[in-house]
Structure 1
Amino acid sequence: MATSIKDVAREAGVSIATVSRVLNDIDVVNEDTKKKVLDAISKLGYRPNIVARSLKTQKTKTIGILVPDISSGFYPEIVRGAEDVANIYDYNVILCNSDFDSEKEKEYLRVLKEKMVDGVIYMSSSLQEETLSIINELNLTTVLVETKDKEGSLPSVTIDNTKAAREATDYLLNKGLSKIAFAGAKKDSMNAWGDRYIGYKESLDENGIKVDESLVHYGGLKVKDGYEAVEQFENSNNEYDAVVCASDEIAMGVINALREKGKRVPEDVSVIGFNDNIMSSVFYPKITTIKQPSYDMGSVAMRMLIKMLNKKELDEYEFVLNYKLVERESCK
């Protein structure tokens, strides 16, 4: 027979109301009494009924985390950072993987609301107006990671993606490379990936170089997108001596495709990635990339969300973390 809250109260020699106050972390219980209750809970192996408790408190101590691709080398580290902080504050996590499908994202938001999550950490494949409307309509307390909405209506944790991509492109230009291709997402994508194209273009514009549209590939962030990008570049018959990639996975696809075309990296074509996932440091050649502080992005986002859930004021509404360019072997 399952242990009940009455059993805990009897074991600790206190009232049921006192046990409830300890479980709900209400400060009016003195430390000695609190210890008796916690010892009784431990001894009896009591686990509170979350559903019943949530109906009373309107809180489930559960956070939904929505990621676009859990198989990526980048997002799991964000989730780990978020989960570590959630554990400190006794929150549970529900993880949802959208597979870069905006319809799936919207459906998951509805499911998380049905599960009565207290809040959501949202990493988006495309932050559409309709998605924002759903978040507002469902009244979901939400923190964005890696992207931000145009109006700045939701708190966010990002890096300056435009500046980072501009720095990556400048890095190649400073090496004397001038025919620089781009593999990533469109500039009008309302997320970090679109900003990376903008940074690439700004760098070329500032150096008086016109973007050659035949050397710009818009796709996803996976290895296959790198292959498709090289196929497009080669079919254009235009020369290129470097490729800026919106992710390390794209960079890996680009490098392998170039190798199959008989081109050497970095001797013939330099390649720079983005994110610094774990594979970029062991791939051949090791990939020069923009390092995002992925673990910190997750942990900062979770701290922000928990502050909001506890009605505390945020230190910063749009939290912009530092990035750095990591030099390895894929550029001249």
Structure 2
Amino acid sequence: MKRSSIKDIAKLAGVSVATVSYVLNRKEGQRISKETQEKIFEIAETINYTPNKIAKSLKSSKTKLLGLIVADISNDFYSNMARNLEDKALKLGYTLIIGSSDENAEKFKKLTELFSQQQVDGMIVAPVAGSEETLENLIKVNYPIVTIDRYLKGIMIPGITINNQEIVENTTQSLLHKDFDKIIYVGYQTQLQHLLDRQYGFERALKSDGKIPEVQYILVGLENILHEIHQQLDKALGKTPKNTALYFSSNKLAVAGLSYLVKNNIKVPDQVSVLAFDETEAYNLFPTDITYIQQPIEEMAEAAIKLLDEQINSYVTTGKRVILSAKLISKSSLK
């Protein structure tokens, strides 16, 4: 006979797995109505739910497991972040479990439920568009959680991000001072706030500078990036571009753009200058060293682990957000 699980209780009660887990396993730090708690206990008794004694004993003394949900672990930024988080967590005695959401809100939700079932002490997440309800459910039960790299507007969760708008505004101003005839901003069609902040920073720089060159935007979706970038750069650059700057708002966009430049034998920086947000080892394959914005990954990881550890040991959740500074690494791809 199949053993009843907290997932079964959650389904019958119409609540999240995290809520059931907290009602059955935690004695403090709850903000769950008495009615919901009684309903969960009644269902648990009805279906003869018997908790795993090993898991329960681990929970009472903490499992020392942390969950990490990133958008794409194959991306250099997130793989480097995961490694740094793992190193920082190990120093405090934690083991990291990692999952990729693939920018899918449903998969993000399922990962939070899976980690909750495994009774991780807390989670570090890079939220995706549409994951507001999932995060709100975790907040309601005071689940220790910290966002990394990203944040969702209106969701009060402790998190670590960088000065996206400020760094893009400053670096765009440096492009404007180089007197390019055309600047092309390559970004995403997105609702993710940290990416919108980068675009806002670009636009603010244009408003604050006196002399404005021709400006174009290439905004693509999260799928078929390579095809879309190649297609739109073909229109924006033409056959013989000159005195033009490309500003890529992520390393993934930059790699797609650089492959187009190589394919079409466009010289960097003689014809087109390049500035990219975030680094990646793929830049090493390009004949010209790429100028990029470097995020303080180690510092971000250390701050995230510290924030999460504080929550785990105090059961206090606040909306504190730590904003760290990125910096421009100048190379030969800018004239």
Identity %: 28
Q: For residues 135 and 311 of structure 1, what CA distance do their matches in structure 2 show? A: 16
Q: Which amino acid aligns with 1:193?
A: L
Q: For residues 136 and 153 of structure 2, what CA distance do their matches in structure 1 show? A: 13
Offset of residue 145 of structure 1 = 0.7
**Residue aligning to 1:22:** none
Does the C-alpha gap of structure 1 residues 115 and 307 become closer, same or farther in structure 2, counting only changes over 3 Å? same
Q: Which amino acid aligns with 1:234?
A: D
**Residue aligning to 1:53:** 57
Asked if the contact 1:85–1:302 (Cα under 8 Å) also holds between the matched residues in 2, the reply is yes
Does the C-alpha gap of structure 1 residues 320 and 306 become closer, same or farther in structure 2, counting only changes over 3 Å? same
Does the C-alpha gap of structure 1 residues 78 and 285 become closer, same or farther in structure 2, counting only changes over 3 Å? same
Offset of residue 175 of structure 1 = 1.3
**Residue aligning to 2:23:** none
Q: Which runs of 4+ in 1 moved over 6 A?
A: 237-240, 312-316
Q: After TM superposition, list the pairs within 5 Å mapping 1:138-157 onto structure 2.
A: 139-151=142-154, 153-157=156-160
Q: State which of 186, 197, 200 in structure 1 corresponds to 2:199.
A: 197
Asked if the contact 1:168–1:244 (Cα under 8 Å) also holds between the matched residues in 2, the reply is no
**Residue aligning to 2:321:** 318
**Residue aligning to 2:33:** none
Q: State which of 218, 221, 228 in structure 1 corresponds to 2:220.
A: 218
Q: State which of 90, 108, 114 in structure 2 corresponds to 1:105.
A: 108
For the aligned residues, what is the CA RMSD?
A: 2.8
Q: Which amino acid aligns with 1:54?
A: L
**Residue aligning to 2:163:** 160
Q: Which amino acid aligns with 1:53?
A: S
Structure 2 unaligned regions, length at least 5: 1-52
Q: For residues 110 and 56 of structure 1, what CA distance do their matches in structure 2 show? A: 19
Asked if the contact 1:146–1:191 (Cα under 8 Å) also holds between the matched residues in 2, the reply is no
Q: After TM superposition, list the pairs within 5 Å mapping 1:130-145 onto structure 2.
A: 130-137=133-140, 139-145=142-148
Offset of residue 73 of structure 1 = 0.9
DSSP 3-state at the match of 1:106: helix
Asked if the contact 1:78–1:299 (Cα under 8 Å) also holds between the matched residues in 2, the reply is no
Q: For residues 77 and 109 of structure 1, what CA distance do their matches in structure 2 show? A: 22
Q: After TM superposition, list the pairs within 5 Å mapping 1:115-126 onto structure 2.
A: 115-126=118-129
Structure 1 unaligned regions, length at least 5: 1-48
Offset of residue 66 of structure 1 = 0.4
Does the C-alpha gap of structure 1 residues 138 and 316 become closer, same or farther in structure 2, counting only changes over 3 Å? closer
Does the C-alpha gap of structure 1 residues 281 and 157 become closer, same or farther in structure 2, counting only changes over 3 Å? farther
Asked if the contact 1:144–1:154 (Cα under 8 Å) also holds between the matched residues in 2, the reply is yes
Offset of residue 60 of structure 1 = 1.5
Offset of residue 92 of structure 1 = 1.4
Report which of the two structures shows the higher radius of gyration computed on alpha carbons. Answer: 1
Q: For residues 117 and 206 of structure 2, what CA distance do their matches in structure 1 show? A: 48
Does the C-alpha gap of structure 1 residues 202 and 331 become closer, same or farther in structure 2, counting only changes over 3 Å? same
Residues paired across the two proteins, number: 279
